[in-house]
């Protein structure tokens, strides 16, 4: 929670930036590549009929997850839905619906 409070101003600035459009075909590659770059392991990735991607991640460090989500936002990906469950101390299991903004 402290991490969220410390980085709230940064998130607010990002929300006001110009929206970036990503080709729907490139969205999956962007998500898998950026997750690997942040050391996150994708458990499952499902294409939604409307252009969104349902992503399930293996348990990961919460701060690392937030850094990844901020980097996705900077690249024009928005989190439409998020489900987080505590897996073990400091780790969360994550389910996301990601979409081109």
* Predicted confidence (pLDDT) per residue in 37-54, tens digit: 999 999 999 988 788 999
Q: Rounded to an integer, what distance in angstroms lies between the CA atom of residue 12 and that of residue 8?
A: 6
Hey, what are 47's tokens?
């294409």
Tens of pLDDT, residues 80-96: 999 999 998 889 999 99
- pTM equals 0.75
Lowest mean pLDDT among 22-36, 51-65, 74-88: 22-36
Domain residue spans of the chain: 2-100
Strand partners, 94: 57, 84
pLDDT of residue 11: 67
* CA angle centred on 67, ends 35 and 46, rounded to 5°: 35
What is the CA angle 8-89-31, rounded to 5? Answer: 55
pLDDT at 24 over 70: no
Name the CATH code of domain 2-100 (choices 3.40.50, 1.10.10, 1.10.3470, 3.30.1360): 3.30.1360
């Amino acid at each position: 929670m402290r991490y969220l409070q410390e980085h709230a101003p940064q998130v607010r600035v990002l929300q006001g930036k110009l929206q970036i459009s990503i080709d729907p075909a490139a969205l999956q590659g962007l998500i898998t590549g950026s997750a690997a770059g942040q050391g996150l392991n994708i458990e499952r990735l499902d294409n939604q009929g409307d252009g969104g991607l349902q992503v399930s991640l293996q348990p990961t460090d919460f701060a690392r997850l937030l850094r990844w989500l901020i980097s996705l936002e900077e690249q024009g990906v928005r989190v439409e839905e998020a489900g987080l469950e505590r897996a073990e101390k400091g780790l969360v299991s994550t389910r996301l619906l990601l979409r081109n903004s």
